[in-house]
Amino acid sequence: MNNFNANDELNSLNNLLDQRYSCRAFLNKAVPKSTILKILSCAQKVPSWCNAQPWEVSIVSEDKLESLKKLTTKAGVDRLHKPDIKFPLAYEGVYKKRRRECAEQLYGSIGINISDRDASFKQTLKNYEFFNAPCVIIITSPKNLGPYGLLDCGAFITALTLAATAIGIASIPQAAIAGVAPVVREFLGLSSTRDIVCAVSLGYPDVNNPVNKFRTTRANEQYLIKENIT
Ligand SMILES: Cc1cc2nc3c(=O)[nH]c(=O)nc-3n(C[C@H](O)[C@H](O)[C@H](O)COP(=O)(O)O)c2cc1C
């Protein structure tokens, strides 16, 4: 590659990773379809086992999104929980601690005490309105590819959020939407041979909304290395 400077490349990637965050309030402003396509074609470049590229996406916006929102919101209010892929069984130890910390940051940012169940449920319901995002991407994976298909989709989702950041679009992956899979499947006519992995909501961020003003932390890299190769 011409003019390749490893430090510059790493700095660019690191800056992009620093800029990305999960956005939970969007402006009421449409994202051009050409921008969405650019993001998707960038995200598609991630590796996948056997180059299967198992992800498939449904792009939902405008009137269709308004209709979907009504159905997912009703499902959320009714506390429907029927994901295609089992949700985590338990967050224990350090995972429990991290989960609590990020919940406290989220609810704290909008003045909700985490033990106030009614107020926190109200905020949770905003998931089903896609946080007012103008565009939602539903990602599915073929059931036959099992956990490795999901792994490939995870890579795709990460790249999608980074590509979006690079072009000035905020995003949030939402497993909450996978929790109401039957409603999403029926509305979009998705095949029963595919798992609904999650949604990614996209749009221009409402930067003045306090819910977008906190940033989650990351563990020191020393904690993730279980064995040192010297
Ligand atoms: C697979 C996946 C599913 C997620 N589902 C939700 C969700 O349903 N609702 C939500 O508010 N955030 C959801 N998030 C966002 C995480 O809470 C967020 O990524 C994490 O707290 C780290 O914060 P950051 O993205 O701002 O760095 C999800 C993230 C991932 C990767």
Tens-place pLDDT, residues 124-139: 999 999 999 999 999 9
The residue range of the domain holding 71 is 20-88+128-210
In a domain, 101, yes or no: no
**pLDDT given at position 24:** 98
| Pocket lining: 204 vs ligand 1, CB cutoff 6 Å | no
CA contacts within 13 A on the Cβ side of 154: 7
Each residue of 168-199: b (16+ CB within 10 Å) or e? ebbbbbbebbbbbbebbbebeebeeebbbbbb
Work out the number of other CB atoms within 10 angstroms of the CB of residue 162. Answer: 18
Residue whose CA is at the smallest distance from ligand 1 atom 23: 216
Residue whose CA is at the smallest distance from ligand 1 atom 4: 174
| Pocket lining: 172 vs ligand 1, CB cutoff 6 Å | yes
Q: How does residue 226 score in pLDDT terms, banded at 50, 70 and 90? A: confident
In a domain, 184, yes or no: yes
Residue whose CA is at the smallest distance from ligand 1 atom 2: 173
**pLDDT given at position 168:** 98
| Pocket lining: 22 vs ligand 1, CB cutoff 6 Å | yes
Is the overall model pTM greater than 0.85, yes or no? yes
In a domain, 98, yes or no: no
Residue with tokens 């790249």: 159
**pLDDT given at position 195:** 98
| Pocket lining: 162 vs ligand 1, CB cutoff 6 Å | no
In a domain, 12, yes or no: no
- Report yes or no: 139 and 153 within 8 Å, Cβ to Cβ: yes
Cα 173 to ligand 1 centre (Å): 6
| Pocket lining: 198 vs ligand 1, CB cutoff 6 Å | yes
Provide the CATH number for the domain around residue 30.
3.40.109.10
In a domain, 49, yes or no: yes
Evaluated on CA atoms 28, 17, 112, 207, the torsion sign reads negative
Q: List beta partners, residue 151.
A: none
For the chain, what is the domain count? Answer: 1
Work out the number of other CB atoms within 10 angstroms of the CB of residue 5. Answer: 10
